[in-house]
Structure 1
Amino acid sequence: MGRVVTPAGFGPLRRKEDVRLVRGRGRFVDDIALPGMLHGAILRSPHAHARIVSVDTSAAESHPKVRVVLTGADLAARDMAWMPTASHDVAAVLACGKVHFQGQEVAFVAAEDRYAARDALALIEVEYEPLPAVVDARTALGPGAPLVRDEQPGRTDNHVFDWESGDAAATDAEFAAAEHVSACDLVYPRVHPAPLETCGIVADADPVEGRLTVHATTQAPHTHRVLYSRIAGVPEHRIRVVAPDIGGGFGNKVAMYPGYLCAVVASTVTGRPVKWTEDRSENLMASSFARDYHMRGEIAATRDGRILAVRVQVLADHGAFNATSQPSAFPAGFFGVFTGSYDLRAAHCRVTGVHTNKAPGGVAYACSFRITEASYLVERLVDVLAHDLGLDPARLRMANLLRPEQFPHPTPTGWEYDSGDYPATLGLALEIAGYDELRAEQAALRAGYERTGRGRLLGIGLSFFTEAVGAGPRRTMDIMGLGMADGADLRVHPSGDAVLAVSCMSQGQGHETTFAQLIGHELGIPADRVQVVQGDTDRTPFGLGTYGSRSTAVSGAATVVAARRVRERARLVAGAILEIDPADLEWVPGRWQVRGNPTVGVSLTEIAAAAYSGRELPDDVEGQLDASCVYNPPNLTFPCGAYLCVVEVDPVTGEVRVRRFVAVDDCGVRINPMIVAGQVHRGLADGIGMALMELITFDPDGNHLAASFMDYLLPTSMECPSWELGETVTPSPHHPIGAKGVGESATVGSPAAVVNAVLDAIGVRHADMPLTPAQVWRAVQGRPLRPDLAIR
């Protein structure tokens, strides 16, 4: 094997895709217009829980522009009334006999234009028999609770699953012997990914070719193709799923929604393409939510703050159908990583899932399968412990963090962290922030407030998180039986230009740039000469898509391995060109050259031309310059970060202003620092939103109270400070280039930092998110918190 000289490291590069996107030349699903295309609309239930007595579609069917109306009975006649979910449940496509949540799909109309389709919905007469609803996970398992899924034979309660992780006996022993135990009840409320572009599809069932072509806003095109095949009975080779440009996903576009299948059926029935695009209210009411966890956490420690063990009980609200998109073996996602970044002796968690009359489908919303909830829990517990023991929260964390020599680190709950220098990461965050100076300023402002009763209070909040990303490996992780390995196909053309096809799918992360840089790093091809193909099942290898920060960790690794295979093939061709033993060659970026004589060599462009030519090649080289890889990661990767938030709080009004935010991330080797910074900025804004304003809530009858951006508040630039970023780098030892992933890290770490800062300012032990001005004011006054947020 020839010696490989490592090329120069990665660096900042402006995003290739922005050239078209900022000029309005992106191509989104709603831009697609096919000849003869119909437009779909969905009739949704006004009730959270009700029997369907009758559905009369005759008036709608008589509308001159309506071409088809579908009901649950119509789909049942086609054996398509129910669809499988990632969590081995089944969900109704159109409600059959009963509606389970407000906004559930009851009927689908396809008409000549979208206005006629919407008008026709009003012509459908549905008689409902309202039923009592349950919207509180804490009462859903209680006696007399309405039964959400009574269509399931033998079901007598709303229980979904029980799952536990860690050693209960060892943890109980640590707690029994501990000098101090702190406990806290927390709610991580239901929130929504709320992407800029809502979900949509254009389905085109071609009766001549017998092919189904689907353009959809999906983060997982190959997974959707499998589902269409299983539900509709169409062979996979006759289905093409295309995901064009996507205007944000954040996990919301992993799932398959009833509107997608209805569009497919309507296209099959009419023989014409059918487009369906949801509006904002539909997106907020009926598409996949996130979070909705009720948690009780306990932390055992010595009196001087040595953390010994953590114990957790969780109630997980899964809505009407268990449709969470997470690996089959982990019904509570990766919540087992709740041990965080600390050197614990023992840990144990127990998670119970329940059904309620809410929309289903908890997604990996900008987090790797429930790690955001787990990180929030442990970081709140550490602050509560610091509060109870009278210790500085920064020094408490520093004393308990895992040390570099402890990696690879087996956690008490069975995970193995790959690498990290946690003390250096926290130390850098404290240094950037000027932590001691901030504490001095805080003390001065508090003293002034206590003297005058006026002014703002300063709060300093910390969080330290470890995330688990890059789902695989295949032996332990799957979704619906599909292994979580990703593919990459690479071809270098005779010109030396390259085309890379990957199974992940960008929703704004900059894949076209990042993956072109990976090829440039391995082969020396300029990024502008690398075309990255994604989102088309006819042109890309199989894979489970982009979510849970899988892109660089899995598809990126597949890309690097494929590029190295091309490079090795190029070495053999170069040996033939130079008439030299390939073992005597060494690689420099873009060129194989003779070891010890760099003037004699051949460029990759010349090698590519030769590989496609009539030149005589070695017997084991077939010609051309291409390679493929299916990458099955040996382990997850474990990025980490230390975040510090500084807030000013007006105790009179409860107003919170985020003054500073310092984020130090260790995501392993960084491919493009500009893209990393952009991903972190987005996640930090996410955290501010969840900590201070975002909330999906319901009244006791199950009416959705946040179905527009007038009620569901999102952060803007006005609420966000100028982010202060830092980095440490500990490469992942098992990833081909040492990358770990960063797309969701900031969302994992930032909510706890913001909440800890606000509570630090007002001197309150705990209050639940979102810390709206009213919630902060109540906490300052010592009054009961809002009943829909407070733990009973």
Structure 2
Amino acid sequence: MTTTENQANPIGFGRMLRKEDARFLRGKGNYVDDLNLPGMLHGAVLRSPYAHARIKSIDISAAQAHPKVKAVITGEILETLNLAWIPSLSHDVVAVLATDKVRFQGQEVAFVVAEDRYSARDALELIEVDYEVLPPVVDAKKALDKDAPVIRDDIAGKVDNFIFDWESGDKAATDEVFANAAIVVNQDMLYPRVHPAPMETCGAVAYMDPIDQKLTIYSTTQAPHAHRTLYALVAGLPEHKLRVVSPDIGGGFGNKVGIYPGYVLAIVGSILTKRPVKWMEDRSENLMSTSFARDYHMKGSIAASADGKILGLRVDVLADHGAFNNTAQPTKFPAGFFHVFTGSYDLMAAHCSVRGVYTNKAPGGVAYACSFRVTEAVYLVERMVDRLAQELKMDPAELRMKNLLRPEQFPYTSPTGWEYDSGEYPRALRLAMDIAGYEELRKEQAQKRAKGELMGIGISFFTETVGAGPKRHMDILGLGMADGCEVRVHPTGKAVVRLSVQSQGQGHETTFAQIVSEVTGIPPEDIDVVHGDTDNTPFGLGTYGSRSTPVSGAAAAIAARRVVDKARIVASAMLECAPEDLEWEKGRFNIKGDKSVGKTMAEIALGAHGTVELPEGVEGHLNAECVYDPPNLTYPFGAYICVVDVDPATAKVSVRRFIAVDDCGPRINPMIVEGQVHGGLADGVGMALMEVIAFDEDGNNLGASFMDYLIPTSLECPSWETGATVTPSPHHPLGLKGVGESATVGSPPAVVNAVIDALAPYGVKHADMPLTPAQVWQAMQGAPYRTDLAIQ
């Protein structure tokens, strides 16, 4: 791994080892499945073997007779408790347990609570369900046929599988641009269904205390406060009697944003048995039934002048949302942020339309490391730019450089109405090309092609849109996307920071300590970060969409500044001077002109809790809070270059090099940023080359284990080469932009563009992901290897 940082960090953050690694590296992490409460019972879910079937009857008598079974729960039992349904993140209604019929393979049908996990699983075999198998529909295009089986016939008046029809941009202006363009290129493409596949599967431990009637839920959630509010709304329980604790999470990637039936079933199990109940899914359950992502059928069109000036973009999307519309995205945008599909280029006009449909698949639409459909949008535009380069016979780097937004154009309003905050796009692309040695790579490629060897060079340039705010535009089920932070300085000068976002491996305990340290001067090792417990943290909507640093990072910075502002007043009282007579030197206030007279933050903290007489109206202590409602999203960006070799005999793709230049604004901790980028790059390689959740015509999930759903290992990943530019966001208190999902957004098109570039001698224009050897081999069969194409 090589790293290039071409600009000093303007704020002064730096590398430090992660504080949380002391427990993780020793195997001392605290995960939900580590919990073992006194008297705890275990739950297991009976799942449907069919993708579409009517439930004629359920016989639970034999399971109830099992000596170790304490409860068997069906949908009818849930209805008596008013807990038969849960709201999805898109206002759809999702059954906790199926009652009328099952709508995807793996849907929850019954729940067994027993003395141990093995007995609970054994008892599932004793439940007899009489199914009437119905014809399934797993093809999104066929789901719209007039004779297609209606999946959501539980919705009054529903006679088809249509969910929504949504559009963005100016259709008339776009049509005019296309009518007058010298070149128009069209391409159909699929972004296949993939799964976040976190290290830790989903689970919960619920306990309703019979004494104080307080319900505590330990769960694998990325949004504990949102879960608490939704549980209160659904169950009718007083919210102050609900506590959601999200301990260490072994990866989330959007998979752990929503509420799953298993969470609710653990709660019901505890209410019925008056004992703690644990539910943990296994890997096959996780791959089969928890939220998927992508599954977008896209038709892209790009219009340009004869010399390569991109004029317009147009896209039609068919979005497969599975059996329930469980999209984790703002209410106002049913298709998510797909309208950023104009990417990083200066266009005259753009228009997109998105139709959502139901199919007999597990609910899709999770914000899987993609900021609400930005991943698909970037993939579309970057493939279309490469397709245009093919038609123009122009180098794809030259074409991008010609059309990238320029620094003087920021803040830039896109043709679909989004205001990009800042950027130096050409500089990032030039840096990536310099690291790669781009001209030499092209020479090497020409030499190899002359010998019949397949080498490809792929480029992608992306603009991310992250932060999930402001709340006037964005919400989840009516809850505005703002986040809180509390900074509390103890009398001895040590501090605790309480966050509403939840870490799932990003290093929050380190980076947020660094943010507060940078502002207050308190050393990071003297700052504890608390998160994941609704009883001990301020309200917020959690971690997804790369919103931790852009939103909660801003809240932490502002709260810390308020601590410093209050410290100035306390220090002035201690030094018997006016507040304006003091000057700030990180961690200390001095009398102006005399640095020998001053007070450190530790001294000020003690004074704030002591007997110092403070000005009227100024309370003691050094505590501050902030609820941050961002004025806009932030827009990190990056330039990626991938180099691949394709074996002409086996069609196997090997990623030889990958260069990633990211601009996420100032970097709090470059080491952690690099780790985030490395993980996202591996994620993108996996999606581009091997990951897909496929279904047969009967709706059977063909990717329900890691033997079938392949994820990348170190063998498939090269030694990453990373670089950085720094363009601060003008509206963030520290200029921070976020980086958690950038690499996942930018890497798949770079890999695919590289593979298609390698196959240019065969005349290949496009092939859909994942580019497995079989898929690449099929693409190569279209035409023989042509030397005239090879040497272009």
Q: Which residue of 2 aligns with 1:478?
A: 475
Q: Does 1:101 align with 2:124?
A: no
Match of 1:612 among 593, 609, 613: 609
The CA deviation at 1:596 is 2.3
Within 2, Cα distance between the matches of 1:684 and 1:721?
A: 10
The CA deviation at 1:230 is 1.2
Within 2, Cα distance between the matches of 1:466 and 1:357?
A: 33
Q: Which residue of 2 aligns with 1:559?
A: 556
List structure 1 segments (4+ residues) > 3 angstroms apart after TM superposition. Answer: none
Secondary structure class of the residue paired with 2:744: helix
Q: Which residue of 2 aligns with 1:768?
A: 768
Q: Which residue of 2 aligns with 1:386?
A: 389
Match of 2:507 among 510, 522, 539: 510
Q: Name stretches of at least 5 consecutive residues in structure 2 with no aligned partner.
A: 1-8, 784-792
Q: Does 1:147 align with 2:145?
A: no
Q: Which residue of 1 aligns with 2:777?
A: 777
The CA deviation at 1:599 is 1.9
Correspondences of 1:500-539 after superposition (within 5 Å): 500-539=497-536
8 Å CA contact 1:220–1:544 kept in 2: the answer is: yes
Give the letter for the 2:510 counterpart.
Answer: T
The CA deviation at 1:264 is 0.2
Within 2, Cα distance between the matches of 1:636 and 1:184?
A: 30
The CA deviation at 1:567 is 0.3
Correspondences of 1:24-39 after superposition (within 5 Å): 24-39=27-42
8 Å CA contact 1:7–1:588 kept in 2: the answer is: no
The CA deviation at 1:550 is 0.5
Within 1, Cα distance between the matches of 2:179 and 2:356?
A: 28
What percent of counterpart residues are identical? 69
Secondary structure class of the residue paired with 2:659: strand
8 Å CA contact 2:320–2:364 kept in 1: the answer is: no
Instruction: Say how many residue pairs are matched.
Output: 773
Q: Which residue of 2 aligns with 1:3?
A: none
Within 1, Cα distance between the matches of 2:579 and 2:612?
A: 17
The CA deviation at 1:584 is 1.7
Q: Which residue of 2 aligns with 1:276?
A: 279
Match of 1:723 among 712, 720, 734: 720
Q: Does 1:703 align with 2:706?
A: no
Match of 1:359 among 358, 362, 366: 362
Match of 2:688 among 685, 691, 698: 691
Q: Comparing 586-595 with 129-138, which one deviates more in the overlay?
A: 586-595
The CA deviation at 1:63 is 0.2
Within 2, Cα distance between the matches of 1:403 and 1:197?
A: 43
Please give the per-residue CA displacement for 1:625-656, whole angstroms capped at 9, x wherever unaligned. 00000000000000000000000001221111
8 Å CA contact 2:378–2:745 kept in 1: the answer is: yes
8 Å CA contact 2:10–2:666 kept in 1: the answer is: no
Within 1, Cα distance between the matches of 2:691 and 2:509?
A: 31
Correspondences of 1:174-213 after superposition (within 5 Å): 174-213=177-216
Secondary structure class of the residue paired with 1:190: coil
The CA deviation at 1:745 is 0.1
Give the letter for the 1:159 counterpart.
Answer: F
Within 2, Cα distance between the matches of 1:158 and 1:375?
A: 27
Q: Which residue of 1 aligns with 2:269?
A: 266
Match of 1:600 among 590, 597, 607: 597
Within 2, Cα distance between the matches of 1:361 and 1:603?
A: 53
Within 2, Cα distance between the matches of 1:457 and 1:322?
A: 42
Please give the TM-score of this superposition, normalised by the length of structure 2: 0.97
Within 2, Cα distance between the matches of 1:766 and 1:571?
A: 62
Q: Which residue of 1 aligns with 2:732?
A: 735
Q: Which residue of 1 aligns with 2:399?
A: 396
The CA deviation at 1:28 is 0.4
8 Å CA contact 1:40–1:263 kept in 2: the answer is: yes
8 Å CA contact 1:325–1:361 kept in 2: the answer is: no
Correspondences of 1:639-678 after superposition (within 5 Å): 639-678=636-675
Q: Which residue of 2 aligns with 1:116?
A: 119
Q: Which residue of 2 aligns with 1:452?
A: none
Within 2, Cα distance between the matches of 1:299 and 1:573?
A: 62
The CA deviation at 1:7 is 9.5
Please give the per-residue CA displacement for 1:325-363, whole angstroms capped at 9, x wherever unaligned. 111001111101000000000000000000000000421
Q: Does 1:493 align with 2:490?
A: yes
Secondary structure class of the residue paired with 2:341: helix
Give the letter for the 1:777 counterpart.
Answer: W
Give the letter for the 2:782 counterpart.
Answer: G
Secondary structure class of the residue paired with 1:522: helix
Give the letter for the 1:11 counterpart.
Answer: G
Give the letter for the 2:560 counterpart.
Answer: A
Q: Name stretches of at least 5 consecutive residues in structure 1 with no aligned partner.
A: 1-5, 450-455, 784-792
Q: Does 1:545 align with 2:542?
A: yes
Correspondences of 1:21-60 after superposition (within 5 Å): 21-60=24-63
The CA deviation at 1:620 is 2.5
Within 2, Cα distance between the matches of 1:632 and 1:464?
A: 29
Within 2, Cα distance between the matches of 1:362 and 1:179?
A: 37
Q: Does 1:375 align with 2:378?
A: yes
Match of 1:65 among 59, 65, 68: 68
Please give the per-residue CA displacement for 1:654-698, whole angstroms capped at 9, x wherever unaligned. 111000000000001110000000000000000000000000010
Q: Which residue of 1 aligns with 2:138?
A: 135
Secondary structure class of the residue paired with 1:313: strand
Please give the TM-score of this superposition, normalised by the length of structure 1: 0.97
Within 2, Cα distance between the matches of 1:584 and 1:735?
A: 29
Q: Does 1:345 align with 2:348?
A: yes
Q: Which residue of 2 aligns with 1:233?
A: 236
Within 2, Cα distance between the matches of 1:384 and 1:741?
A: 30
The CA deviation at 1:8 is 5.8
Please give the per-residue CA displacement for 1:15-54, whole angstroms capped at 9, x wherever unaligned. 0000111001111000000111000000000000000000
The CA deviation at 1:98 is 0.3
Within 2, Cα distance between the matches of 1:522 and 1:326?
A: 33
Give the letter for the 2:771 counterpart.
Answer: L
Within 1, Cα distance between the matches of 2:329 and 2:584?
A: 41
8 Å CA contact 2:589–2:600 kept in 1: the answer is: yes
Please give the per-residue CA displacement for 1:289-308, whole angstroms capped at 9, x wherever unaligned. 01000000000001111000
8 Å CA contact 1:651–1:762 kept in 2: the answer is: no
Please give the per-residue CA displacement for 1:141-167, whole angstroms capped at 9, x wherever unaligned. 112111110111111100000111110
Secondary structure class of the residue paired with 2:82: coil
